[in-house]
Amino acid sequence: MCRILIHFVLILSFTTHLFAQNKAVAAGEKLTYTASYNMSGVLTDIAQVTMETNEVKTSKSTLLRLKCTAATYSKWDTFFKIRDLYESYVHPNNLTPYLYNRDVNEGSYFKNMKYTFSNSSNTVKSVMKKKNNYVENNSIKINSGTKDIVSTLYYMRILDYKNMAIGTKKSFTILFDNEEIKGIITYLGKETISTAIGKKECYKLAVGSSETNVLQGKNNNFLWLTADENKIIVYGKFKIPVGNGELKIKSASGLKN
């Protein structure tokens, strides 16, 4: 179970585009989700995922902080306790990442990963820390447009699905554990679904990856984004090597539009 939430975040991250402008995400937004996992044939709520944004001023610029946390509900902590943090500091206009931080606390496993992006040279300075004071430094060459998990997750919301033909495919590249992961989404059109925040008309996306340790099958992974100017994720279904599950929205506040 230690990789379930990491894999789901990867599922939500499968798209990139170099020139889109941010009209959907602003500081002060908060989205809360329930993450469920199929345990012995029963879909069970195991964790809460929270996504928040806020403005951060530096000596040179103003950035948008994109923060994602995942925590198992207390009744599952004795079985397997998860307290994960993913955050990215991005340009507010195009969500280009500058800094990325990931703290993974899952059972007895701990890892901290930090990326410093140099977008002009397409390089990333990576610092990884584990228990027992182990530190590993790397300089990684990346492709143009490669992002971290969190900035990619938010970036998908500023793509123009409204004018996208059904069947359109978009590729992505994301840096995860110092490796570029490639995947693809397919736009399937609109579908109206019931959620905890009401009935929503949504853009439906099928998600796939060439990485067999991330996703399973060609028709098992889907996302639903609201078909409005905010394009928030309200529902997701996924299948990974160790099982399948869902992500359902619980609440949304501070939306830009």
**9 vs 27, residue with greater confidence:** 27
DSSP for 67-82, written as a single string? EEEEEE-HHHHHHH-B
The per-residue pLDDT for range 152-185, each reduced to its tens digit, is 889 889 999 999 999 998 888 889 999 998 878 8
Predicted local distance difference test score (pLDDT) of residue 256: 96
Select the CATH number that applies to the domain covering 4-253 from these four: 1.25.40, 2.60.90, 2.60.120, 2.40.360: 2.40.360
Closest Cα partner for 234 from 51, 22, 28? 51
Predicted local distance difference test score (pLDDT) of residue 241: 59
The per-residue pLDDT for range 104-119, each reduced to its tens digit, is 998 888 999 999 999 8
Closest Cα partner for 168 from 177, 160, 179, 176? 160
Q: How far apart are CA 26 and CA 97, in angstroms?
A: 15
Q: How far apart are CA 47 and CA 77, in angstroms?
A: 10
Q: Is the pLDDT of residue 209 over 90?
A: no
Closest Cα partner for 208 from 180, 168, 238? 238
Specify the range with the lowest mean pLDDT, choosing from 10-14, 32-36, 94-98, 187-191: 10-14
- Paired with 201 in beta bridges are 192
Predicted local distance difference test score (pLDDT) of residue 131: 82
Q: What average pLDDT does the structure give for the chain?
A: 87
CB 181 within 8 A of CB 174: yes
Q: How far apart are CA 116 and CA 155, in angstroms?
A: 18
Residue 211 pLDDT level (bands cut at 50, 70, 90): low
